[in-house]
Amino acid sequence: MVFAGSISLAAYAARDRSARLAVVREAPPPDAPKPRLLDRVRETLRARHYSPRTEEAYVAWIRRYIFFHGKRHPAELSAPEVTRFLSSLAVEGRVAASTQNQALSALLFLYREVLGVELRWLDDIVRAKRPVRLPVVLTREEVRAVIDFLSGPPRLMACLLYGAGLRVLECCRLRVQDVDFGGNQIVVRGGKGDKDRTTMLPAVVKSDLVRHLAAVKNQHERDLTAGAGWVEMPTALARKYPHAGRQWVWQWVFPATRMYVDRATGQRRRHHLHETVLQREVKHAVWQAGIPKRASPHTLRHSFATHLLEDNHDIRTVQELLGHRDVTTTQIYTHVLNRGPAAVRSPADRMFGP
């Protein structure tokens, strides 16, 4: 004889057993979401030690490419879409050949390195032909006139661009330990192509540079007293030497006027002087000097190379001072020397001149 109560107890036990089985057989947690495409691009660029500026440019071009095709995933696109995008840049955007080639390099990196697409059409994409342009060069008198209208750190920086052949960012990123007063040289760390090189320290700026660094050191000591005084360290040196970011030798030669707080570490730092400050000051000085040339800070580097060649210095030496990988890049300055067309007397001068 089975009682009603015993039936209820068996049913309860069955329900409890099935509930325990359900807990045991519960589905595993879902996998973590895959990183977004642009995040994958950034990770791949950093893994290959591309510069932050290259990363910024490549990500911008890939984003622009995706939006151009209505936010379709690049894996769904191929050669016709790449060609259409590049043609739009040239025809509608009227961009320079170097800009178009930069966009192509970004897309090739996306397909080959990020998406792992090895298709023949990637090799068939034709790069835009870059026209040969002569650099803008100032005469020695014009260089003097421009520098005379500058003052403070921009004047010192302009003297280093012209006197040592530095690039703008190379000058902005100089650290105290990179200036060797005893050896009369400047060490450029991580220049274009992540290459180091040495160049001369102009004797004419040594005394002014010493006074400038004394003022910078006083500012750094005040920052240390206020609990700041940090600078950004290259690569992983911040982990290897945790306190090196406050040492004097790692400080910027041309620090910014304001401090900022790094989000990752909470450190109060100073960045180097932004390149736009020098660009703006030089442009204004060129206007004040009344020079009818489209000159910029980089023009001072062009003038440095040209004037060295005018003084009969070996082109290989100039190549090493400029940090050019190929001597053909340096040879462009031979086209603007006074030994070129300016040294040939015009037949009109022979006919009508004195």
The residues carrying an active-site annotation are: 167, 192, 298, 301, 324, 333
CB 107 within 8 A of CB 65: yes
Q: Identify the sign of the CA torsion 311, 317, 321, 324.
A: positive
Burial class (CB in 10 A: 0-12, 13-18, 19+), 86: buried
Spatial CB neighbours of 252, under 8 Å, sequence gap ≥ 6: 172, 173, 174, 175, 176, 216, 231, 270, 271, 272, 273
Q: Distances from the Cα of 41 to the Cαs of 44, 58, 114, 117, 130, in angstroms? A: 5, 8, 6, 14, 27
CA–CA dist 44, 116 (Å, integer)? 11
Contact, 285 vs 277, CB < 8 A?
Answer: no
